[in-house]
Amino acid sequence: MKYHVKDIGLRGKGRKRIEWAERDMPVLRRIRESFSERRPLKGVRVGACLHVTTETANLMLTLKEGGAEVYLCASNPLSTQDDVAASLAKDYGMPVFAVKGEDNRTYYNHINEVLDRKPMITMDDGADLVSTIHMKRKKDAAGVIGSTEETTTGVIRLKSLAKSGLLKFPVIAVNDAATKHLFDNRYGTGQSTIDGIVRATNRLLSGSTFVVSGYGWCGKGVSMRAKGMGANVIVAEVDPLRALEAVMDGFRVMPIAEAAKVGDIFCTVTGDLHVIRKEHFKTMKDGAIVCNSGHFNVELDIKGLKTLTKSRRVIREFVEEYRLKNGRCVYLLADGRLVNLASAEGHPASVMDMSFANQALSAAYLAERGSKLENRVYAVPEAIDKEIAKMKLETLGVKIDVLTAEQKKYLEAWEMGT
Ligand code: ADE
């Protein structure tokens, strides 16, 4: 079996960490048990392009238990956990193509390794498998029943592809399930981003001025957790509604050009291009720390930053010092890539439990129903979303009320008022 990982000798550590994460993924465990009996993915080749983490390993093993043949590559050159990749390849016999720090050419070679195996279902985090099929490997589309997409950025790309009328198979937007984005994007990104910044810098957040660009679910999570650590949080937004939410949530809101002058730590989570640019880097305080927790490494204009720079050096792991011509230093974390996955371990297992429960059940849904679907972007069926919320509550030991017959009737009746 072919695979490409950094060091197969890391497998022992990886296996134990995969087991550690499994403990905190009870919903996925339940699905694995049911998959083991039902085998809904029997004979289905699944190609996955996801962050290669302990949580993803548990998803891959669940799909295998459901009968799938699974191939895995990384969805970001810096997010791979090499010990996990080694364990999946050696302990679980899975063709894995992922090496932390791989260059762009290797990254795309790995995507092609997965596509060479002619997946019938593709599973993306950022839409790179689907976009490669549509741009470079059009013939492969005929064999694809459908795809699932994990993240906001990927869903935006895929909706744009569908809108242009070129999407060649159905896609399920896992990101848009309530049990995904309300928890993973908010609490997962919130915690793991702070974790990444702290691990990379060991800076005290308390009392610092922390600037968050973007107040979507990820931005809300990062702002909330930075505030919880005692930082003074400033939010920069382009959307009036979201900006208003940030104001009402108690944050200062201002354009990034103003925030740039006062921030100590900057984090972008917008999903858009060049959110912090040359003109902003120029005005930053000496020692400003800049990072990104959005999907692609495009939110910070690093090329622009380089043109302002006299010299650069890596001052500690994941921290690069840019000494500017104006004499000040700006510190860039993780090369502008996802800081939560590059310098920490991504979202904790407990929250990925719900995201990946959506992935597993959506894959089974595609295997069963995909041929009847149109070539467009679908929501995760509501029944699946609700079932995952129910299972998560059960596994947390939380009970909730049920409506009385009288309450149900009241909610259904337009005639009744006070
Ligand atoms: N995205 C964010 N955190 C992740 C994790 N732990 N595993 C896989 N994908 C992720």
Range of the domain at 130: 8-180+348-395
**pLDDT at 374 (0 to 100):** 97
Q: Which of 323, 342, 361 lies at the terminal end of a domain, its last residue?
A: 342
Residues 312 and 191 in one domain: yes
Residues 132 and 23 in one domain: yes
Residues 155 and 192 in one domain: no
Distance 79 CA to ligand 1 centre (A): 9
- Per the CB < 8 A criterion, the answer to whether 51 and 74 are in contact is yes
Distance 169 CA to ligand 1 centre (A): 25
- Per the CB < 8 A criterion, the answer to whether 106 and 53 are in contact is no
Whether 408 is covered by a domain: the verdict is no
Residues 165 and 250 in one domain: no
Distance CA 307, CA 367 (A): 50
Whether 400 is covered by a domain: the verdict is no
Distance CA 302, CA 335 (A): 8
Whether 411 is covered by a domain: the verdict is no
- Per the CB < 8 A criterion, the answer to whether 364 and 66 are in contact is yes
187-193 mean pLDDT? 98
Residues 42 and 148 in one domain: yes
Distance CA 282, CA 106 (A): 34
Q: Is the CB of 153 under 6 A from ligand 1?
A: no
Q: Is the CB of 56 under 6 A from ligand 1?
A: yes
Inter-helix orientation angle 349-369/382-396, to 10°:
150
Q: Which of 275, 288, 135 is nearest to 208 (CA)?
A: 288
Q: Is the CB of 180 under 6 A from ligand 1?
A: no
- Per the CB < 8 A criterion, the answer to whether 360 and 63 are in contact is yes
Distance 349 CA to ligand 1 centre (A): 8
Whether 416 is covered by a domain: the verdict is no
313-335 mean pLDDT? 98
**pLDDT at 106 (0 to 100):** 98
**pLDDT at 417 (0 to 100):** 84
Beta-carbon contacts of 210 under 8 Å, excluding residues fewer than 6 positions away, are: 226, 231, 232, 233, 234, 263, 264, 265, 267
Q: What is the CA radius of gyration of the chain?
A: 22
CATH number of the CATH domain containing 142: 3.40.50.1480
Token pair listed for 117:
């195996």
Distance CA 3, CA 114 (A): 10
Q: Is the CB of 80 under 6 A from ligand 1?
A: no
Distance 306 CA to ligand 1 centre (A): 30
**Which of 80, 191, 192 is the best mutation target for the ligand 1 pocket, counting ligand atoms within 8 Å of the beta carbon and taking the most?**
192
- Residue whose structure tokens are 């839409």: 127
Whether 417 is covered by a domain: the verdict is no
Q: Is the CB of 347 under 6 A from ligand 1?
A: yes
Its pTM stands at 0.96
Confidence of residue 46 (pLDDT cuts 50, 70, 90): very high
pLDDT tens digits, one per residue of 257-305: 999 999 999 999 999 999 999 999 999 999 999 999 999 999 999 999 9
Q: Is the CB of 293 under 6 A from ligand 1?
A: no
Q: Which of 342, 362, 378 lies at the terminal end of a domain, its last residue?
A: 342
Average pLDDT, whole number, for the chain?
A: 97
Residues 218 and 141 in one domain: no
Distance 205 CA to ligand 1 centre (A): 24
Q: Which of 291, 98, 102 is nearest to 189 (CA)?
A: 291
Distance 405 CA to ligand 1 centre (A): 42
Residues in the chain: 418
In total, how many domains does the chain have?
A: 2
Q: What percent of the chain has pLDDT over 70?
A: 100
Residues 171 and 207 in one domain: no
Residues 136 and 218 in one domain: no
Helix (H) or strand (E) holding 357: helix 349-369
Token pair listed for 185:
């994007």
CATH number of the CATH domain containing 335: 3.40.50.720
Q: Which of 190, 212, 222, 201 is nearest to 333 (CA)?
A: 201
Exposure pattern of 11-45 as b/e (b: 16+ CB <10 Å)?
Answer: beebbebbeebbebbbbbbbbbebbeeeebbeebb
Residues 37 and 174 in one domain: yes
Q: Is the CB of 53 under 6 A from ligand 1?
A: yes
Residues 204 and 218 in one domain: yes
pLDDT tens digits, one per residue of 82-132: 999 999 999 999 999 999 999 999 999 999 999 999 999 999 999 999 999
Whether 414 is covered by a domain: the verdict is no
Q: Is the CB of 353 under 6 A from ligand 1?
A: no
Residues 21 and 87 in one domain: yes
Q: Is the CB of 17 under 6 A from ligand 1?
A: no
Whether 135 is covered by a domain: the verdict is yes
- Per the CB < 8 A criterion, the answer to whether 216 and 387 are in contact is no
Residues 301 and 363 in one domain: no
Cα torsion for 329, 267, 319, 228, to the nearest 10°?
Answer: 110
Whether 213 is covered by a domain: the verdict is yes
**pLDDT above 90 (res 418):** no
Write the CA distances from 205 to 77, 212, 233, 266, 337, integer angstroms.
28, 13, 10, 12, 21
**pLDDT at 196 (0 to 100):** 98
Relative to beta strand 319-324, strand 329-333 is antiparallel
**pLDDT at 416 (0 to 100):** 86
Write the CA distances from 165 to 217, 284, 376, integer angstroms.
29, 44, 9
**pLDDT at 258 (0 to 100):** 98
* Residue scoring higher pLDDT (416 or 28): 28
Token pair listed for 182:
């309300």
Q: Which of 307, 342, 377 lies at the terminal end of a domain, its last residue?
A: 342
Q: Which of 179, 183, 256 is nearest to 220 (CA)?
A: 183
- Per the CB < 8 A criterion, the answer to whether 51 and 76 are in contact is yes
Distance CA 318, CA 310 (A): 20
Handedness of CA 60, 61, 66, 70 (dihedral sign): positive
